[in-house]
Structure 1
Amino acid sequence: MTRDTDGVQYHVDGELLPREEATVPVEDRGFRYGDAAFETMRAYGGEVFEWNRHAARLARTCETLGMPGAVPGDLPLRVAETLDTNDLADARVRISITRGVQPGTLTPQEEVDPTVVVTVEALPRGGLDGEDVWDGPAVVQSVRTRRVPDASLPADAKTHNYLNGVLARLELRRAANDSYRPDEALLRDVEGRVAEGATSNLFFVADGTLRTPEAGDLFPGVTREVVLELAEDEPFPVETGAYDLDDVRDADEAFLTSSTWEVRPIESIDGIAVGGGPITELLRRLYDERVEERCY
């Protein structure tokens, strides 16, 4: 997808600025240490989908990082202004809140003057009349990089520390060749059980049951929560548990979820064909219906 950034404006610390002027100081702890919280969400028809969940998670992450007052009270207005100024109704919206500029020591100061940034990027219309942002079903490759356990870094905190996912995606580059180009990495936990994609959650269908790795060492995505809610009212069983790679490779259907991708079928895992299916397509439609109902 070609992205035109001419004339784009971002929101930085309460001020709308042209993209080329929207910068943060090199002393900012978000740059120095990844000491920051963020959320990525989608706006449909000018409305941020599942705003309350994203805002609550952003606040929880800030609390985990020891800066509970960092979320500004006018954050919804800043998001709306950024969308309006860029004349965007359908977009990816990212909010970053760092601890701000502090002396160059690892120990953070108690007083926080946070840096708050809102960026937006145009996406196609979603909902029932929308189009997918991805080019096709996902080609997934399991990687050696393991998901950092919750005991080391809180799994439910969405921070700028994404090195784990970066390393996983670098493995995809090494695995690629002229005929094989995986576009999502599947991480396992330290015990070898499947956990999640580098930027997505995993679902699969086996023996008519919708399955997804249980919460613990995986990031509990907002789209994952929505899909589990949608599945509650359907006749097929839903299960969360611990699974190995063979469980997913042998699945009847599989898909990934994220705010940007929504519900994306998996074409193959480690070169083994999986594909979507009736449950995947049903949940895709139900998700589109919820977006349509709440945002358009």
Structure 2
Amino acid sequence: MSELQYHVDGDLVPASAATVSVDDRGFRYGDGAFETLRAYGGTIFEWDAHAERLERTCEHLHLEHGCSRADLRARMDETLAANDLVDAYVRLSITRGVQPGKLTPQPEVDPTVVVYVKPLPRGGLEGESVWDGPATVETVETRRIPDAALPAAAKTHNYLNGILARTELSPDADEALLCDLEGRVAEGATSNLCFVVDGELHTPTLEGPVLPGITRRVVLELAADADISTHEGWYEPADVRTADEAFLTNTTWELRPVASIDGHAIGGGPVTSLLAERFDERVEAESYSNN
């Protein structure tokens, strides 16, 4: 495969030449917003939901970048086309750009906008998983940053919270489970958590420090359509360890069953399997049915 092309500030450039300034605020301070997306069959899945979350993040950051939703979509489509990719990982980043080297942001913004892509297997009913097996999860000491300190709904370039959580993991663990300051379950370092008890689906409430995941929302919609009772609430780690089933959600993993949490075997099950099948059907219908 030829060298990938990235989209940097309006131009397609080879990956080896894709650079941003060391004075960019995204590099200096993590002062930027991003979205991780999936392209299925050349279509950005759940683009409107991702765009809305990106807009909310920028509102939290008081980042008025001036790029329209249509412009951002066009940059992603151009990047996919330039790389001849129809099934891909896509990352869209917007920072406040280069400003004088002080913490206080300036009102005038010349944003840095980057689209990064790489191939990912086809999704839908004929798709392949991008992970090797169920996830091994460990609860870590690092706590999720409270919403009052850094808005949980903001998907920013500053991922130190998740990085520190991942550094605590055993070598064979796949994901860190973070709790809030009161010890209640929040989310994974890069994922939302769902678990099943007596056939009913549970997931930590967005009233806590939980990122409103796009895949999480889709799963809750699919559960409602399948007449599966759902609960968004406050849970202790022990509630998850004794669950009948558990799985993680994010854009890349989609629905990933949990093999164990803190050494307690859990695994998938009928609810996880049904929701994964319904998710694949939705991807198929929205992204591949007209191809």
Match of 2:174 among 169, 175, 183: 183
The one-letter code sitting in structure 1 at the alignment partner of 2:219 is V
Match among 130, 134, 137 for residue 133 of structure 1:
130
* 1:168 aligned residue (162, 165, 169): 165
Among candidates 217, 220, 223, match of residue 215 of structure 2: 223
- In structure 2, how many angstroms separate the alpha carbons of the residues matched to 1:143 and 1:64? 27
Q: Which residue number in structure 2 is paired with residue 211 of structure 1?
A: 202
SS at match of 2:53: helix
Deviation sequence 1:49-80 (CA, Å, 0-9, x none): 00000011111111111123443441111100
List per-residue Cα deviations over 1:176-200 (Å, max 9, x = no partner): 3xxxx00100000000000100000
Aligned residue number for residue 67 of structure 2: 71
Report the Cα distance in structure 1 between the residues aligned to 2:228 and 2:103, rounded to whole angstroms.
50
The 5 A counterparts of 1:23-62 are 23-62=19-58
Matched, 1:122 2:119: yes
Residue 149, structure 1, aligned to residue 141, structure 2: no
Q: Which residue does 2:231 correspond to in 1?
A: 239
Select 1:82's aligned residue among 61, 79, 82. Answer: 79
Indicate whether 1:253 and 2:245 are aligned.
yes
For each residue in 1:243-290, what CA deviation from the matched residue of structure 2 results, as whole angstroms up to 9, or x when unmatched? Answer: 001100000000000000000000000111000000000000000000
Q: Quote the residue 1:269 is aligned against.
A: 261
Equivalent pair of 2:65/2:96 in contact (CA under 8 Å): no
Specify the alignment match of 1:279 in structure 2: 271
Partner Cα distance (2:129, 2:213) in 1:
19
Q: TM-score, normalised by structure 2?
A: 0.97
SS in 1 for 2:54: helix
Deviation at 1:207, TM superposition (A): 1.8
CA RMSD of aligned residues (A): 0.9
Give the TM-score normalised by structure 1: 0.95
Query: How much identity, in percent, do the aligned residues show?
Result: 65
> Contact 1:222/1:258 (CA < 8 Å) preserved in 2?
yes
CA distance in 2, matches of 1:7, 1:275: 39
CA contact (8 A) 2:57 2:153 kept: yes
The whole-number CA distance in structure 2 between the counterparts of 1:251 and 1:30 is 40
Does 2:281 correspond to 1:294? no
CA contact (8 A) 1:203 1:254 kept: yes
Corresponding residue number in structure 2 for 1:195: 186
* 1:104 CA drift (Å): 0.4
1:59 and 1:68 in contact (8 A); partners too: no
Q: Which runs of 5+ in 1 are unaligned?
A: none
Name the residue aligned to 2:107: 110
